[in-house]
Amino acid sequence: MTARIIDGKTIAADLRGRIAGEVVRLKATLTPGIAVVLVGDNPASEVYVRTKSKAVVEAGMRPFDHKLPAATSEADLLALIAKLNADANVNGILVQLPLPPQIDAYKVTAAIDPAKDVDGFHPLNVGRLSSGLPGLVPCTPLGCVLLAKTVHDSLAGLEAVVIGRSNIVGKPAAQLLLAENATVTIAHSKTRDLPGICRRADLLVAAIGKPEMVRGDWIKPGATVIDVGINRVPGEGGKSRIVGDVAFAEAAKTAGAVTPVPGGVGPMTIACLLLNTLRAACAQKGLPVPKL
Ligand code: NAP
């Protein structure tokens, strides 16, 4: 079998186009605004923030970027969050993680107005997701589910295995799949017989952070594989290259459909950030939240 490649780039571009269309439609009523806050000069974070800000502008939304020095105190960051919470033009707030050691990331996340928490990390939104209530949900897991739904009309009854139980990917991915009525198993570093558990999966989500750990013979023939991993490994000529958590070439021989890395989940994360911002803005103005 040769797997269908789930083209995240194209699917994300299509979603971004629909979001931009909705922003145009709402223009007379509101222009969604998002504040992206970066503390320090972590090069990877700077790239993410630049990419996010560009996407915000392309979607017709208003960016409110804040770049703070690495020595910023927790009190100063919390004061900025309070200001953004009170600013009616700011509909979404994202604080890029990781934060410098003098700042408690949990305190900062919990200080964001849950209605503006477009990362979906606020404890209230985490609780809403696990209670099956509507709320803002984390962007990467949401992207994973939307990609899986390009393959399956319904995820109901599918045997889904999520490898990874982080608060930002694994756990919310499992909750979202449960909300879609999949039968969900969460695997992690202490799981016994991981290959055997993966072989049960109709839908396999890998969020591990270990280059190409999931091998072709871990995959049930015909399964859908969503690879969240972003791992930098040595490439040719002293350069580095990015690979996922799944051995892509092997997986493509067994799976029914598989996401590439790069070009799979990554672009969907940004599209889902825009989607969350649009949804948050509409909810704050009392407008119907677009389905898209
Ligand atoms: P994380 O916080 O390090 O969590 C990794 C998870 O994988 C943990 O739950 C860990 O288990 C599990 N794990 C580690 N080694 C394992 C093993 N040998 N067998 C089974 N499970 C194992 O990472 P994360 O933040 O969730 O990110 C995961 C990957 O996704 C990374 O490559 C990251 O760069 C990528 N990512 C991509 C996007 C995107 O937009 N595409 C967004 C976010 C993250 P324990 O809990 O037992 O330690």
Q: State if residue 29 touches ligand 1 by the CB under 6 angstroms criterion.
A: no
- Among candidate residues 171, 149, 151, the one with its CA nearest the CA of residue 292: 149
What's 237's DSSP letter?
G
CA distance 257 to 226: 8
The pLDDT of residue 188: 98
Q: 119: which 2 tokens? A: 């990362």
Per-residue confidence band for 291, with pLDDT thresholds at 50, 70 and 90: confident
Q: What is the pLDDT of residues 176-212, one digit of tens each?
A: 999 999 999 999 999 999 999 999 999 999 999 999 9
As a whole number, the mean pLDDT across the chain is: 97
pLDDT digits (tens, 9 = 90+) for 252-275: 999 999 999 999 999 999 999 999
Q: What is the pLDDT of residue 1?
A: 64
Ligand 1 lined by 232 (C-beta under 6 Å)? no
**pLDDT, tens only, 67-80:** 999 999 999 999 99
Cis peptide before 100 (omega within 30 of 0): no
Tokens of 72: 């910023």
Would you give the DSSP letter of residue 96?
A: P
**Dihedral through CA 110, CA 279, CA 137, CA 264, nearest 10?**
-130
Could you give the residue ranges of the DSSP H alpha helices within the chain? 8-25, 43-58, 74-86, 105-111, 123-131, 139-148, 170-179, 194-198, 248-254, 265-285
274 SS3 class: helix
Reply yes or no on whether 119 is catalytic.
yes
CA of 191 to the centre of ligand 1 (A): 14
Smallest CA separation from ligand 1 atom 48, residue: 189
- What is the rounded distance in angstroms from the CA atom of residue 249 to the CA atom of residue 79? 49
Q: Is the pLDDT of residue 289 over 70?
A: yes
Which residues, listed in sequence order, are joined to residue 46 by a DSSP beta bridge? Answer: none
pLDDT tens figures, 145-185: 999 999 999 999 999 999 999 999 999 999 999 999 999 99
Q: Is 164 in the pocket of ligand 1 (CB under 6 A)?
A: yes
Tell me, what's the pLDDT at 292?
84
What is the percent of the chain with per-residue pLDDT over 70, rounded to a whole number? 100
Distance CA 1, CA 275 (A): 35
Residue 52 bears catalytic tag:
yes
To the query of whether residue 190 is one of the catalytic residues in this protein, the response is no
Q: How far apart are the C-alpha atoms of 31 and 36, rounded to whole Å?
A: 16
pTM, to two decimals: 0.97
Choosing from 212, 230, 274 the residue with most ligand 1 atoms within 8 A of its CB, the one to mutate for a pocket test is 230
For a mutational test of ligand 1's pocket, the pick from 166, 214, 243, i.e. the residue with the most ligand atoms closer than 8 A to its C-beta, is 166
Question: 172: Cβ below 6 Å to ligand 1?
Answer: no
In the set 113, 116, 117, 119, the catalytic residue is 119
Give me the half-sphere count of Cα atoms (radius 13 Å) on the Cβ side of residue 111.
20
CB contact at 8 A, 187 and 179: no
Cβ–ligand 1 distance for 102 under 6 Å, the answer no
pLDDT of res. 113: 98
Q: How far is the CA of 144 from the centre of ligand 1 (A)?
A: 14
Ligand 1 near 265 CB (within 6 A): yes
Mean pLDDT, range 35-46, rounded to an integer: 95
User: Which residues touch 222 (CB under 8 Å, ≥6 apart)?
Assistant: 1, 255, 256
